[in-house]
């Protein structure tokens, strides 16, 4: 059984094909085909529908005559309705599209890809796998905002959390590495990329997370501001900023892009090393906020047995990791500088803290496509 996974980002479309055996177990560790379409809506690729057609063409070359048995789609925001993977029909697509305003960089391209794949393969089951599902275990005191109850009851304004598929995948891997059962695993897990978040996991369940009603809250990100005093936004409205301008400001023109003039961590770290003060300030601001969240979530998870770093920055930026672990010294965390440098570019889980570190720090490569493929198989059921 072949499962195609489509992971639609704001300007990218990643894909991979996984083979499952008759026992519905993933056959082999690597996908049999994979790729990515980049610079969507920035260059020659107009939108995610066009990107999907490029993917179809690449699959036809890599796997001639192949039609997937199921397609799994990463969908960022599932609201309160979707507590797990969902078989797609027209009503489900409509429900996803009604959440577009809550994840404007990701839900619209995800919905476009679902519609394109459904049209291309009308008889193939499509499954939506939601980033928010893992966080449905948040206790009410963690997901509530201190706002009038009517805003939650009528409009669903609450903390949802994101990156759940990645967090659960790397958390389970970290627990295996440390020889701890998932049901007993307490950890702080940071998914660090162009979008970034931190999650407190207690007993294998999400109990606190930095992203909120939308993927905008929390850490400094590539183009997103993270935490901002809402009073500043009211002030900007009074100056004449409209909702669309504020949306663009906070989601597309803030974060590292605003502070350092670039949202590429490699370019930022090179600039900081060369003495660029804006790049240095951006890195220190991001590390400060991340360390603050990790310290707080150490409490939220009743004492972390591990800190886990993943995502493009977490896996690949030794400089950013080193800055972070220095800040985490008060938790008894100690950086193994040699292990940290060796970790760059290596595959598989690795520990970058010293043997006497009070809390081990692990770098675990995420594989959201792997997790989405398994969730898709589970949702499709026997065929």
Query: Among all residues, which ones are annotated catalytic?
Result: 131
Please state the φ and ψ torsions of residue 230, each to the nearest 5 degrees. -55, -25
- Please give the structure tokens belonging to residue 76: 């960022």
Please state the φ and ψ torsions of residue 318, each to the nearest 5 degrees. -65, -35
Q: Give the integer Cα–Cα distance in Å for 104 and 100.
A: 5
β-pair type (13-19, 2-8): antiparallel
- The three-class DSSP label of residue 281 is helix
- Please give the structure tokens belonging to residue 118: 């459904």
- Which residues, including other chains, have CB under 8 Å from residue 271's CB and lie 6 or more apart? 260, 262, 278, 279
Contact between 369 and 16 (Cβ < 8 Å): yes
Q: Give the integer Cα–Cα distance in Å for 112 and 109.
A: 5
Sheet hosting strand 187-192, strand order edge to edge: 205-209, 196-202, 187-192, 307-310, 361-363, 350-351
- Which residues, including other chains, have CB under 8 Å from residue 94's CB and lie 6 or more apart? none
For 132-167, give the DSSP string: TGGGGG--HHHH--SS-HHHHHHH--S-----HHHH
């Amino acid at each position: 059984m072949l499962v195609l996974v489509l992971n639609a980002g704001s300007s990218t479309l990643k894909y991979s094909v996984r083979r499952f055996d008759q026992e519905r177990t993933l056959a082999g560790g690597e996908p049999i085909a994979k790729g990515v379409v980049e610079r969507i809506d920035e260059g020659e690729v107009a939108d995610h529908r066009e990107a999907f057609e490029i993917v179809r063409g690449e699959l036809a070359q890599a796997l001639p005559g192949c039609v997937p048995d199921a397609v799994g789609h990463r969908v960022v925001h599932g609201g309160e309705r979707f507590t797990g993977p969902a078989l797609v029909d027209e009503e489900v697509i409509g429900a996803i599209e009604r959440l577009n305003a809550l994840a404007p960089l990701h839900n619209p391209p995800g919905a476009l890809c679902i519609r394109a794949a459904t049209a291309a393969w009308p008889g193939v089951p499509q499954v939506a796998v939601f980033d928010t599902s893992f966080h449905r275990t948040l206790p009410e005191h963690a997901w509530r905002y201190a706002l009038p109850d009517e805003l939650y009851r009528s409009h669903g304004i609450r903390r949802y959390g994101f990156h759940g598929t990645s967090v659960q995948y790397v958390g389970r891997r970290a627990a295996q590495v440390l020889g701890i059962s998932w049901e007993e695993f307490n950890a702080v897990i940071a998914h660090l990329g162009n979008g970034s978040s931190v999650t407190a996991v207690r007993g294998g369940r999400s109990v606190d997370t930095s992203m909120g009603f939308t993927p905008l809250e929390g850490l400094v990100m590539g183009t997103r501001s993270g935490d901002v005093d809402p009073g500043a936004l009211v002030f900007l409205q009074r100056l004449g900023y409209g909702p669309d301008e504020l949306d663009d400001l906070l989601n597309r023109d803030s974060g590292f892009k605003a502070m350092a003039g670039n949202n590429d961590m490699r370019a930022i770290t090179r600039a900081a090393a060369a003495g660029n003060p804006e790049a240095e300030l951006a890195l220190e601001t991001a590390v400060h906020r991340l360390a603050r969240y990790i310290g707080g979530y150490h409490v939220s998870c009743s004492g972390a047995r591990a800190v886990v770093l993943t995502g493009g920055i977490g896996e690949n930026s030794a400089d950013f990791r080193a800055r972070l672990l220095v800040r985490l010294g008060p938790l008894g965390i100690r950086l193994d500088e040699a292990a940290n440098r060796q970790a760059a570019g290596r595959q598989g889980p690795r520990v970058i803290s010293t043997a006497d570190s009070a809390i081990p720090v692990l770098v675990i490569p995420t594989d959201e496509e792997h997790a989405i493929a398994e969730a898709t198989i589970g949702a499709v059921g026997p065929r």
